[in-house]
Amino acid sequence: MARKPVPKPVAKPDSDDLLAWYDRHRRRLPWRALPGKTSDPYAVWLSEIMLQQTTVAAVKSYYENFLALWPTVADLAAAPVAEVMTAWAGLGYYARARNLHKCASVVAADHGGVFPDTEEGLNALPGIGPYTAAAIAAIAFDRHAVVVDGNVERVMARLFAVTEPLPQSKARLRELAARLTPDERAGDYAQGVMDLGATVCTPKSPACVICPWNDRCEGRKLGIAETLPRKAAKVETPLRRGVAYWMMRADGCVALQRRPPKGLLGGMTEVPGSDWIEQKGRAKAAVGETPPVATKWRVLPGVVEHVFTHFRLQLIVHTADLTAAQAKKLGPGIIWTPLEKIGAAGLPSVMAKVAKHVIKGMG
């Protein structure tokens, strides 16, 4: 009697393949140690906080500048928060900078300047959520921690052909990531999957031919890899509008002020302005309110546009040259800044756009 053919065992993705690939093809990043070595927890923490919602290319110079200014967590804790905010300006998501300073202070004061070496201990620090705690635990302390970011979710969804859309599939993708995480070299493995997602298994046109898992990838076999991960339909981002008031004194100084410490862009320097009000429909004019001082205002043509996480913003800029008496009426909260020093004023990106818009209008 003819024997039934024995089915070939299906090859499963394996962390060793990825680690071998990581040893040869990892990205050389300033905060990384050599494979098999753990990195300085302060450097890992700093880079991980900076990398949230920001690209590696944008982070590099900020990271190097922070380490040059504050080489240890104790140095950062001792720095005035305003200086930290200024050094952070341009990186966006400013709550991160405030929490960065707060976290440094807690590590310096309550932990003797030494970061806790467990996920739980790290998670208890200000500004460190589950993802960052896992990343630091794995990369700095080689703990067996499951690190899941957008890159990891994409790789897992493709590798195991998970067609359920995000965010519903999050728990499943995490479980798959946990299954693949090795007991040893968990930090290298975590960085390896992130690197694979960033350089090979990219959102568009993944380079499957050079992928260490290409013979085990279900998504590739089914020809659906590039369509994964699927995402639930997005709700439209609301639009807010407002006015920025650009006021100059005769000596060439511009009126800036500091935003309240809490809330959006808390503690950052800004050009004074109206509230930002959500507007529906296609109204052209920005919502205004009483300008800070009665004078002759000009409306600059065009709008300044900026996208925050939860809304888009359009600002119309009103400009005025103030007399000494009018400038005085603005009060002591105003930081008069020479126009040529505006680049060093620590303006967040949206306010830097306002300044650029005005300067372009002057030219």
Residues that bind ligand SF4 (CB under 6 A): 155, 158-159, 200-201, 206, 208, 211, 213-214, 217, 219-220, 225
- Local structure of residue 286 (DSSP, 8 states): P
Question: Exactly one of 48, 119, 153, 270 is catalytic; which is it?
Answer: 48
Residue count of the chain:
363
Q: Do 81 and 101 meet the contact criterion of CB atoms below 8 Å apart?
A: yes
* Beta-bridge partners for 179: none
Instruction: Tell me whether strands 239-248 and 312-321 are parallel, antiparallel or unpaired.
Output: parallel
Concerning whether 305 is annotated as a catalytic residue, the answer is no
In terms of CB distance, is 182 or 288 closer to ligand SF4? 182
Rounded CA separation 308/316 (Å) = 17
Closer Cβ to ligand SF4, 62 or 189, answer by number: 189
CB of 99 to ligand SF4, least distance (A): 33
**Least distance from ligand SF4 to the Cβ atom of residue 147, Å:** 17
Q: HSE (CB half, 13 Å, CA atoms) of 183?
A: 0
Minimum CB distance to ligand SF4 smaller for 212 or for 348 = 212
Q: What is the CA radius of gyration of the chain?
A: 25
Helix extents (H) in 89-199: 95-110, 119-123, 130-141, 150-159, 170-180, 186-199
In whole angstroms, the minimum distance from the beta carbon of 218 to ligand SF4 comes to 8
State the DSSP H helix or E strand holding residue 247, giving kind and residue range, or none if neither.
strand 239-248
Q: State in angstroms the smallest separation of the CB of 227 from ligand SF4.
A: 10
Comparing CB distances to ligand SF4, the nearer of 178 and 307 is: 178
Residue pair 342/268 in contact by the 8 Å Cβ criterion: no
Residues tagged active-site: 48
